[in-house]
Amino acid sequence: MDNLDGRSPLDVGIVVIGRNEGERLTPCLESSLRVGCPVVYVDSGSEDRSIASARLLGVDVIELDRARPFSAARARNEGFSGLLAKYASICFVQFLDGDCTLLPGWIEAAAQALSEDSKRAAVIGHLQERNADASVYNRLCALEWRSAAGDLQNYGYLGGISLMRADVFRDLGGFRADVIAGEDSELGVRMGLAGYKVTKIDHPMATHDAGMKTFRQWWRRAVRAGHAIGQRYAINGDSAVRDCARERNSTIGWGIGLPIIVLATAWPTHGVSFLLLAAYPLLGVRVWRYRRSMGDTAADAALYAIFILIAKFANAVGLLKFFLRRRARKYEIIEYK
């Protein structure tokens, strides 16, 4: 990579995490190696040839101890520690998932954005779904990735693929290892509360392969999102950011509260309470109009709106799972592929 403001490739390091990524891992690592900076791959108990593939490319591999629960947060933290232990001069760390590939010019553009503002702690760019037309679920992911450039006000847009300042990451304690989903957004909240900026720049960042072919996979992903809503709210919901307060209230209202009211009053109202279900299509129209305002086609906006409504119930399941796991003080990852 070209020097930026006197920076050398060794000022930037890349942490790739994965678990049973199969054939997707090789192009991911190859795109990272092309940058010309140190790369470490962290494996969370893969049973395929992921580890062998990484070593074949000459990438440093960290295998997580199977005796402790796996999570993306834990993998990224251990990757960060391993990278800095070997390359202490690293200033910026790019986190990347094994189902993604970095796009040319991203590291240079992101490093430039961080160099321009010392209060900017993390930078993201445009994420592109590699096989958006392979399934309706991949299409939904492609729509989900769309957002405007600028300093983030909603840290939910901070995903696991981002370039971060190493010193800020270290000072804030990295990702919370007990957060099994949404750990990236939760860190973004702490960055904001500490007075830092998280910025999306108008530059292609990476491609992503959701690999979702079935409704069951999509449902489990939406359940995981509901768990993340509950856990993020429990951690930072009372802060100045009010993280996930709106999402939590929406999930409780639409995914739990309204169905209970309709069913509980169906007998005394002689079924009239079922008219309340008309609120769902009204919500769908609101979502459709919002997505149209973002530039989606009418068909894409309709697809997004329909699945937002279905997701309310999956999110509710995830939220209930969080409540139960919180009582048991035991969190386990929710895999969807």
User: Residue 93 in contact with residue 10, Cβ under 8 Å?
Assistant: no
Say if residue 183 is in the same domain as residue 292. Answer: no
Look at residues 213, 243, 271 and tell me which one is the last residue of a structural domain.
213
Say if residue 103 is in the same domain as residue 44. Answer: yes
From the list 212, 228, 104, the residue with the least C-alpha distance to 160 is 228
Backbone angles phi, psi at 58, to 5 degrees: 80, 20
- Give the distance from CA 293 to its chain's centroid: 24
Q: What is the residue-level pLDDT of the chain in tens, covering all 337 positions?
A: 444 444 455 599 999 999 988 889 999 999 999 999 999 999 998 888 999 999 999 999 999 998 888 889 999 999 999 999 999 999 999 999 999 999 999 999 999 999 999 999 999 999 999 989 999 999 999 999 999 999 999 998 998 899 999 999 999 999 998 888 889 999 999 999 999 999 999 999 999 998 899 999 999 999 999 999 999 999 999 999 999 999 999 999 999 999 999 999 999 999 999 999 999 999 999 999 999 999 999 999 999 999 999 999 999 999 999 999 888 777 677 666 6
| Beta strands 150-151; 12-18: pairing state | unpaired
- Total count of domains within the chain: 2
User: Residue 81 in contact with residue 137, Cβ under 8 Å?
Assistant: no
pTM over 0.75: yes
Say if residue 169 is in the same domain as residue 110. Answer: yes
Domain containing residue 209: CATH number: 3.90.550.10
Instruction: Please report whether residue 129 resides in a domain.
Output: yes
Instruction: Please report whether residue 220 resides in a domain.
Output: no
Say if residue 93 is in the same domain as residue 14. Answer: yes
Say if residue 57 is in the same domain as residue 204. Answer: yes
Handedness of CA 102, 106, 108, 110 (dihedral sign): negative
Instruction: Please report whether residue 1 resides in a domain.
Output: no
Look at residues 181, 213, 245 and tell me which one is the last residue of a structural domain.
213
Distance CA 47, CA 25 (A): 13
User: Residue 145 in contact with residue 132, Cβ under 8 Å?
Assistant: no
User: Residue 92 in contact with residue 123, Cβ under 8 Å?
Assistant: no
Instruction: Please report whether residue 222 resides in a domain.
Output: no
Instruction: Please report whether residue 2 resides in a domain.
Output: no
Instruction: Please report whether residue 307 resides in a domain.
Output: yes
Instruction: Please report whether residue 219 resides in a domain.
Output: no
DSSP structural state of residue 64:
P
Query: Containing domain of residue 248, as a range?
Result: 232-328
Say if residue 242 is in the same domain as residue 288. Answer: yes
